[in-house]
């Protein structure tokens, strides 16, 4: 076997360690199959994370608006109270 792909490198490393040819080929196949399964699993996990991040961003936008409205209402109430206190001579 010649080449530089992952299969060839694993196979050649096993053969260099005196693993019989059939076992080296089977082991290289098994290692790459596990790797492929892990990559597919990670892609699914990343897609889920992207969706979660999108939901968090959406929630953050809503919270920013809510905080802004609360601050504006608080300042309006404070202004009305100060105005009332000045009119009545409490200050």
Nearest to 26 by CA among 41, 10, 38, 37: 10
Q: Where are the domains of the chain?
A: 6-88
Specify the pTM.
0.48
**Can you tell me the distance from the alpha carbon of 79 to that of 67, in angstroms, rounded to the nearest whole number?**
18
Q: Look up tokens 């098994």; give the residue.
A: 30
Q: Does residue 35 have a pLDDT over 80? A: no
CB 16 within 8 A of CB 22: no
Tell me 18's DSSP state. Answer: T
pLDDT in tens, 4-23: 688 888 889 888 998 898 99
Q: Look up tokens 């000045």; give the residue.
A: 86
pLDDT in tens, 36-67: 777 778 888 888 899 999 999 999 999 999 99
**Can you tell me the distance from the alpha carbon of 82 to that of 90, in angstroms, rounded to the nearest whole number?**
9
């Amino acid at each position: 076997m010649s080449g530089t792909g992952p299969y060839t490198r694993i196979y050649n490393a096993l053969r260099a360690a005196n693993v019989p040819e059939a076992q080296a080929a089977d082991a290289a196949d098994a290692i790459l199959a596990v790797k492929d399964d892990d990559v597919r699993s990670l892609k699914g996990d990343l897609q889920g994370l992207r969706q979660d991040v999108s939901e968090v961003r959406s929630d953050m936008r809503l919270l920013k608006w809510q905080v802004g409205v609360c601050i504006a209402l608080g300042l309006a109430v404070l202004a009305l109270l100060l105005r009332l206190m000045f009119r009545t001579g409490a200050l």
